[in-house]
Amino acid sequence: MAKTLEFFFDFTSPYAYLASSQVEALAERTGATLRYRPFLLGAVFKATGNSPPLLVPAKKVHMLKDLGRWTEHYGLPPFSLPPTFPFRSLEANRLALVAIEAGKGRNFVARTYRAGFVDHADLGDRAVLGRLAAEVGLNPEEALTKIETPAVKEALKANTDEAVARGAFGAPAFFVGEELFIGNDRLPFVERALRDL
């Protein structure tokens, strides 16, 4: 039986950044096909009545410490929020769809998360997005034109609506079949679910 792991993410989510550093190896260990599913976290929050942790002062303090612990645990560069955070991620998420369609999704997601959370590049800047597109082998002018097409805009909206309809309320959101897992810290349970298939 074919196993699929769906990874719903938004480039503005630091916890999805953490998860993105682990999902490829997890999928390989479990023999699962990994599907990258960009969506709009702000629209998910709005649809579900959830809110960003940074809006709650106590959560913000905890979250920054927690992100530091997780980056150390994963062997990633020390964590700090980009000065532009929360940055506009709409175009970056659309560009991920273009990269996925071109067979370059894995590299684009990894490079873009690194640009946002390690290099502190502004992912809301089209010049930055053009450079990232070029780095993974996309034609930047064509890719940036394509993110403005109705098909790409609708695909991102459809991913978002689908995630909400299936119960997602935050990012990262993982589906193994119709079983939902929310959060980077749920990856051990994601792996168990995949192994049990």
* Closest residue by Cα to residue 159 from 147, 145, 173, 148: 173
DSSP for 173-193, please give it. EEEETTEEEESGGGHHHHHHH
**Residue 37, CB-side half-sphere exposure with 13 Å CA sphere:** 23
Contacts of 69 (CB under 8 A, 6+ apart): none
- Angstrom distance (rounded) from CA 36 to CA 197: 20
- Is 86 strand, coil or helix? coil
Positive/negative CA dihedral, 192, 193, 196, 197: negative
> Which one is catalytic: 13, 20, 21, 89?
13
Calculated CA dihedral for residues 42, 48, 51, 52, nearest 10 degrees: -50
With contact defined as beta carbons under 8 Å apart, do 175 and 6 qualify? Answer: yes
Is 13 among the residues known to form the active site?
yes
Contacts of 177 (CB under 8 A, 6+ apart): 4, 197
Show which residues are catalytic.
13
